[in-house]
Amino acid sequence: MCKLCDEGKPQNHDDEGKPEDHSGSRRDFLKTATAAGAAAAAINLFATRPARAHDDDHGGPPEDHGKDRRRYVIRGGSVMTMDPSMPNKGELLNTDVLIEGKKILHVGQNIVAGDAAEIDARGKIVMPGFIDTHHHQFETALRSFLADGVLIKDGSTSASGTTTYFEYILLTFAPVYRPQDVYINELFGGLSQLDDGVTTVHDVSQIHHSPQHSDAAIQALFDTGRRAAFGYFESAGANILGTNPGNQYPQDAVRIKKQWFSSSDQLVHMIMGGEVYLGDATTEQSWTIGRQLDLQIAAHILSPFGIRPIMDALAQGQGGSNKDIGIGGDNLFIHMTGMSDMAWQKVQDVGAQVSIAFPIEMNMRHGMPPIIRMQSMAAAAKKPFEPSLSTDVECTMTADFFSQMRAAMNLQRLVVNQMILNSPNGNQNLPDPRNWELPQSAMTVPGPFPYWPTPPAGIPDPLTTRDVLRYATINGAKALKLDKKTGTLTPGKEADIIILDPTRINVAPLNQVPGAVVSLMDRTNVETVIVAGKIRKWKGQLLDIDLRQLRRKLENSRDYIFSKAGVPQNLFSGQ
């Protein structure tokens, strides 16, 4: 065994088991990997150009991809730019994307690119990478442990109400994490999402027991090689138990910003965590420090933790211990379930951002995801008011982004469709949760379908696949203040791009591009992933990683965390 590996500093090894010297590589644990063999030829649905030899036919990605002034072109794809100002609202058939260095240079048909390398995307879908605006990556080793649980013990004896998030994840597991546990959890979780086509994340790393824990989380975000916002939040659980004598939150934000984030020209930037449930003194300190450092300020806002009156005070500019902290355009609010009309109006008025974690909110009793409220407020104000999407915690649900889009669309359409069906009965708000179906004395409407009314005024339109694609891309970029860099395939922006394969058995035949992506696809359709021009996944395989070694380190971390927390490992636990 290798001492460095066991200390959470993964190494590559030579044939004798000795650590190799890769000091010039991106990280010493990363292993240069040859790319997978060429994939089978894709079904050609749209191509107008004759077939020709391409660099990717030889097996590897274009040489020196992502390096300054190096060009390559993605040829002949069905391109969803997510930029409605472009021709055909940014939805383009048989289209090329020219990349130089880390930026998109041009989008159009039959681009003349000289001797630039080519990636054949004929019959494929090309679009911006997904953006996750709230993910607790430090919990990767706890995946599926809390699949049945809700937020807080509820006094019942059910599986959901006894093994819960607050008591187990925050108060039991989180306090025992070492810096090396933070590192491998953050790294593995980030790479997993990169494989899924998520090119940007807001990592809400509530695991800052010490500056060493903070540095481990940040290093992992850089080493993952994707765009990220490092969310500097509290020492989860340990701050309540008093088991974190090395805790430096929130004042260590000053050092962190200076040491890690002095440049704006890097993949990772910083967001200040400003949790309001920790008390007025912490709110005062964290929000003040964040604004002094010119950082965006994020917070979980949900009624089960008693946040509604706190949010009302913030809406009136009377939050914090000095009663002088208020909501601003620099805020990112996560969940926003169960808040008052006044608080919502302030959020809309100042242009604060909202991140909704649809699957988790439905599963863990956060409250109704507030999509209908946001749509109704947007209609009243006659201007957009939309959320971004977030995955939250993998201890309960997958961080797969296709699942996030489907859940958002399904939940909103469930509510809207039932509101429409109930509209003849004057029951648009469905006040009785015991009966979301039609009343026994249901009214009928004229026409051949007596229980199929025309949607009345005041009910939002059902979400479409294009809506949730927007939530998953450009809305995420706006939420993290990155929309000038990423979120659309607009020339001048950095090249955060995914190429999706609709010829696989779960999607073919391709009939409609947005519908195929949202309603049918999963990570097996993510063929290529590009971050700032650098190809990170090629022909279905992540590049430059040793997955077996990383998995072993994650499993070792999992074993330590469970043992130190005193929780038995049981693959068939009743939770």
Q: What is the pLDDT of residues 351-394, one digit of tens each?
A: 999 999 999 999 999 999 999 999 999 999 999 999 999 999 99
The pLDDT of residue 429 is 53
> Is the model's pLDDT at 58 over the cut of 70?
no
Give me the percent of the chain exceeding a pLDDT of 70. 88
> Is the model's pLDDT at 267 over the cut of 90?
yes
Task: Give me 425's structure tokens.
Answer: 């009965």
Q: H or E element: which one contains 563? A: helix 547-565
Q: Which amino acid is it at 573?
A: S
Give me the percent of the chain exceeding a pLDDT of 90. 79
Domains of the chain, start order: 1-32 (no CATH), 55-129+487-542 (2.30.40.10), 132-138+165-397+406-413 (3.20.20.140)
Average pLDDT over residues 252-266: 96
> Is the model's pLDDT at 30 over the cut of 50?
no
If one compares 189 and 451, the residue with the highest pLDDT of the two is: 189
Q: What is the pLDDT of residues 129-172, one digit of tens each?
A: 999 999 999 999 999 999 999 999 999 999 898 899 999 999 99
Average pLDDT over residues 170-199: 97
The pLDDT of residue 484 is 97
Residue keyed to tokens 């060429």: 38
Q: What is the pLDDT of residues 298-341, one digit of tens each?
A: 999 999 989 999 999 999 999 999 999 999 999 999 999 999 99
Contact assessment for residue 49 and residue 76, using Cβ atoms and an 8 Å cutoff:
yes
Q: H or E element: which one contains 414? A: helix 401-422
The pLDDT of residue 10 is 41
Q: Which amino acid is it at 549?
A: Q
Average pLDDT over residues 477-484: 98
If one compares 536 and 439, the residue with the highest pLDDT of the two is: 536
User: Cα–Cα distance between 448 and 19 in angstroms, integer?
Assistant: 75
The pLDDT of residue 428 is 53
> Is the model's pLDDT at 52 over the cut of 70?
no
The pLDDT of residue 19 is 40
Contact assessment for residue 420 and residue 401, using Cβ atoms and an 8 Å cutoff:
no
β-pairing verdict for 534-538 and 541-542:
antiparallel
The pLDDT of residue 9 is 42
In degrees rounded to 5, what are phi and psi of residue 528?
A: -135, 140
The pLDDT of residue 27 is 40
Name the band, by pLDDT with cuts 50, 70 and 90, for residue 437: low
Average pLDDT over residues 488-504: 98
Q: H or E element: which one contains 410? A: helix 401-422
Name the band, by pLDDT with cuts 50, 70 and 90, for residue 427: low
> Is the model's pLDDT at 520 over the cut of 70?
yes
DSSP 84-132: TTSGGGGEEEEEEEEEETTEEEEEESS---TT-EEEE-TTSEEEEPEEE
> Is the model's pLDDT at 495 over the cut of 60?
yes
> Is the model's pLDDT at 472 over the cut of 50?
yes
Residue 457 burial (10 A CB sphere; 0-12, 13-18, 19+): exposed
Contact assessment for residue 522 and residue 130, using Cβ atoms and an 8 Å cutoff:
no
Contact assessment for residue 372 and residue 408, using Cβ atoms and an 8 Å cutoff:
no
Cα–Cα distances in angstroms (integers) from residue 347 to residues 301, 312, 343, in the given order: 12, 11, 6
In degrees rounded to 5, what are phi and psi of residue 98?
A: -95, 130
> Is the model's pLDDT at 16 over the cut of 50?
no
Task: Give me 480's structure tokens.
Answer: 């993290």
The pLDDT of residue 66 is 86
> Is the model's pLDDT at 231 over the cut of 70?
yes
Q: What is the pLDDT of residues 79-122, one digit of tens each?
A: 999 999 999 999 999 999 999 999 999 999 999 999 999 999 99
**Cis upstream peptide for 509 (omega within 30°):** yes
Show the 3-state SS of 189-253. HHHHHHHCCEEEEEEEECECCCHHHHHHHHHHHHHHCCEEEEEECCECCHHHHCCCCCCCCCCCH
Q: Taking the CA of residue 196 as centre, how many other CA atoms within 13 Å lie in the half-sphere pointing to its CB?
A: 22
Query: What's the pTM?
Result: 0.89
User: Cα–Cα distance between 572 and 158 in angstroms, integer?
Assistant: 16
Task: Give me 327's structure tokens.
Answer: 């909501």
User: Cα–Cα distance between 426 and 429 in angstroms, integer?
Assistant: 9
Residue keyed to tokens 């694609």: 469
If one compares 495 and 21, the residue with the highest pLDDT of the two is: 495
The pLDDT of residue 4 is 41
For residue 165, the Cα-to-chain-centroid distance in whole angstroms is 20
User: Cα–Cα distance between 303 and 293 in angstroms, integer?
Assistant: 29
DSSP 468-494: HHHHHTHHHHHHTT-TTTSSS--TTSB
> Is the model's pLDDT at 53 over the cut of 70?
no
The pLDDT of residue 242 is 84
> Is the model's pLDDT at 20 over the cut of 50?
no
Contact assessment for residue 300 and residue 277, using Cβ atoms and an 8 Å cutoff:
yes
